[in-house]
Amino acid sequence: METKIISIIGFSAGVLTTISFVPQVVKTWKLKKTEDISFLMYMILAVGIFLWLVYGIFITDLPIIIANSISFVLTSIILVFKIKYG
């Protein structure tokens, strides 16, 4: 039973940190402004998430692969917006 609760906490953590970037994508899509957003943050984050993805592929861990594929797409979109809108 406790193992189930721990799994639910881990799963919830993964879902939340993965979908967290959606509101920023939507906001920037509408606002077309990225002045206050750090380019360096999203650059480091995208590389880091990409390495998590590579790590997930190496250890064949599907949750890591799925979560980081989605996060990588979302952070890359924010990064492209940042480059586009400055």
Within positions 34 to 53, which residues make up the interface with a second copy, using CB under 8 A? 34-42, 44-45, 47-49, 51-52
Q: Which of 1, 58, 63, 73 binds a second copy (CB under 8 A)?
A: 58
Q: Who contacts 14 (Cβ-Cβ below 8 Å, separation ≥6)?
A: 63, 67
Q: Cα angle vertex 28, ends 22, 29, to 5°? A: 85
Q: Who contacts 18 (Cβ-Cβ below 8 Å, separation ≥6)?
A: 67, 70, 71, 74
Does residue 1 bind a second copy (CB under 8 A)? no
User: Rule CB under 8 A: which residues touch a second copy?
Assistant: 6, 9-10, 12-24, 26-28, 31, 33-42, 44-45, 47-49, 51-52, 54-55, 58-59
